[in-house]
Amino acid sequence: MLLEVSGTVRVPGDKSISHRALLFAAFSPGASRVRYILPSADVHSSAAVMRALGVRVPELSEDFVVHGVSASALVQPSSDLDCGNSGTTTRLAAGIVAGRAGISARFIGDASLSKRPMQRIARPLSAMGARVESERGEGLPMWVHGASLAPIEWRSEHASAQIKSAILLAAVSSGVGATVYEPSRSRDHTERMLSARGVSVSVTDGGVSITGNATLHAADVDVPADPSSAAFFVALAGLAARGELTLPDVCLNPTRTGGFEILSRMGVRVTMQDERTVGGELLGTIVAAPGSLRGTRVHGDEVPRAIDEMPLIACVAARAEGETRITDASELRVKESDRISAVVSNLRNIGVDAEELPDGMVIRGGTQPLRGSVNTHGDHRLAMAFGILAALPGNQISIDDRECVAVSFPNFWELLASSTSVASSAPRTSSESSASGATAAHSGHAHSPQHTPLVIAIDGPAASGKSSTAQWVAKRLGVRHVDSGAFYRALTAAALRSGVAAEQWTEASVLSHAPRIARALTERSVVPTLDGDPADTELRGNAVTQEVSRVARMSAVREWVNDQVRAAGASTDVVVDGRDIGTAVFPNAPLKVFLIADPWERARRRLVQRLERRPTDAEIAAETEALVARDAKDATQSRPDPSAITIDTTTLTQEEQVERIVALAEVVRRSLSPPR
């Protein structure tokens, strides 16, 4: 079987420019129009921080206006500045706060962000006169106490757009001059945006300078498509057997195109068309097609220009002829994860010959099928890079946290599914060509009247791994996975949108929003839409997460969700997991599986996922006690449906679990197929 790509892929707005468009609009006096911003979790963090500092930032949409204020009009925040997973938000906003005497702010973030080093900005901001204090180590939480800053000439040890931007924004915020020298040139979106807003910017090969008393003016921004997001689909096209992908309106800023140049050098056919300058940024259309892939060397000055693409390049190298060597990339160790260690260990997990270096990695390509599981460490770029490898026919790769892509590319999985198809190695006929975008034999599509739906119900106690196993089984079988939890989240989001305090919700009031929710079929899933929108980022956001358990406890709501899941199983082949799936929801499912495991092993698995390290025996013992207590309270989960096939996963890998269920499902599917 061969992978074929086709169509036009419109990737989201550039994340770096989206952050800056929002932050600059917020403290430039006047009305700034922002269009095509990336509405990701990270950019929402920037919006929330500027609101906390007193700026009226509206809800993010495709086209909105920010009524900015001068830096002197920013206010003392009444609570912590929660930056979520966004290092850009933290470092750039810290620069803005540092330049405002009388403002003190405590910056916090999620577990991943809290581990990232902040001393790189703390040192220059402190040298300018601000006071920066980390509560533990070099990460978050971090206090920034603003001051009337002194001008600075700073020589950075790292080529980092975030460090450079923090210094420049601190200088603008306080009305002083600044010069930043770098060992090599980093992204220059901040310089371009400052210049577009009336600041005198001087750029040389070694650094950038601004003069004191700079005044920002309001300016409109059209955010181009993100080149780092586009790179995933350029790589996908390069790995395919045939076809091409077109990616319009991509930012082609020279500091951002290093990834395309490396992929082209490796053999991907990449062409740029319709190049033009809009709002100070060069953009154009990229057309990518398959090529004969070969290894390469990545080092020196090209690393900063492709730093975000390095996990992807490593994954492409796994399918390239020869050796790929990446060096001078120690910056990768302080990203959302240690991307050197994480990429190499995950490549090894799926069968790739990979070696970790102090400042990079070595990958030796091959053609053997890749199989195994990937631990993303919550890192969106790892999830997407290995997602590209997982899309290749013959590979069997499971990804532990697919949802983490929401911080930069919320609809990545949908676009990946819609731009690929699997074809035989034989040439297509003209009739097959006319249906190139569809997988006619794909059993996950809507049923013909003669087809009996295939429903695979996977149940099991807490921490038995049923959800991740179900997703992998669905992919292997080419059917859809039903995320029943997403329907609870959709109702919760609808209730939150109503503005009624959660403490006042009743079953009736929550269910009154049910008509706003519909089922939608994607290539891989059955998902809810809210007011016609998938609203993925909102459904996975903190506000919904905090209140969804309140909604899930309502018996009438549970029955409504069960009805949605039943309806999904009546319309398309599905794999469904969750509580009561094989008893109350699908009692007549043709295949019911109940996963069990020793409580100690279940506790160990849960802690590994939660802690991202090897748990101690004491920790496992405490977690085991909690799981046993939960099992005792849940009679349904402790007694599987009598017709279910029980699989003890204590000594099985997830791949072995999936293989067993897929084999059972294939037998059932043949029995359901109508006679010819």
CA distance linking residue 164 with residue 182, whole number of Å: 8
For residue 355, what are the β-bridge partners?
A: 362
Q: What are the structural domain ranges in the chain? A: 2-11+224-423, 449-672
CA distance linking residue 352 with residue 217, whole number of Å: 52
Using DSSP's 3-state secondary structure scheme, residue 564 falls into helix
Question: What is the per-residue pLDDT across 343-367, written as a single tens digit (0 to 9) for each?
Answer: 999 999 999 999 999 999 999 999 9
Ranges of residues in the chain with a pLDDT under 50 are: 426-451, 635-638, 675-676
CA distance linking residue 583 with residue 575, whole number of Å: 15
Class of the CATH-defined domain 2-11+224-423: alpha beta
Please give the pLDDT value at position 618.
83
Cβ of 292: how many Cβ atoms within 10 Å? 11
Query: Any catalytic annotation for residue 308?
Result: yes
The pTM score is 0.58
Please give the pLDDT value at position 426.
47
Helix residue ranges, H only, 240-366: 258-265, 310-317, 339-349
Question: What is the per-residue pLDDT across 200-220, written as a single tens digit (0 to 9) for each?
Answer: 999 987 899 999 999 899 999
CA distance linking residue 108 with residue 6, whole number of Å: 42
Please give the pLDDT value at position 411.
85
* Distance linking the first and last C-alpha atoms of the chain: 24
The answer to whether 85 and 112 have CB atoms below 8 angstroms apart is yes
Strand order in 63-68's β-sheet? 63-68, 30-35, 221-222
Residues 6+ apart with CB under 8 A from 22: 34, 37, 43, 46, 47, 50, 57, 66
CA distance linking residue 227 with residue 674, whole number of Å: 47
**Token output for 448:** 């013909």
The answer to whether 445 and 30 have CB atoms below 8 angstroms apart is no
What CATH topology corresponds to 449-672? Rossmann fold (3.40.50)
> Which one of 14, 308, 379, 580 is the catalytic residue?
308
Please give the pLDDT value at position 656.
83
Closest by CA to 229, choosing from 253, 254, 250, 252, is 250
**Token output for 192:** 């371009």
Question: What is the per-residue pLDDT across 300-346, written as a single tens digit (0 to 9) for each?
Answer: 989 989 999 999 999 999 999 999 999 999 999 988 889 999 999 99
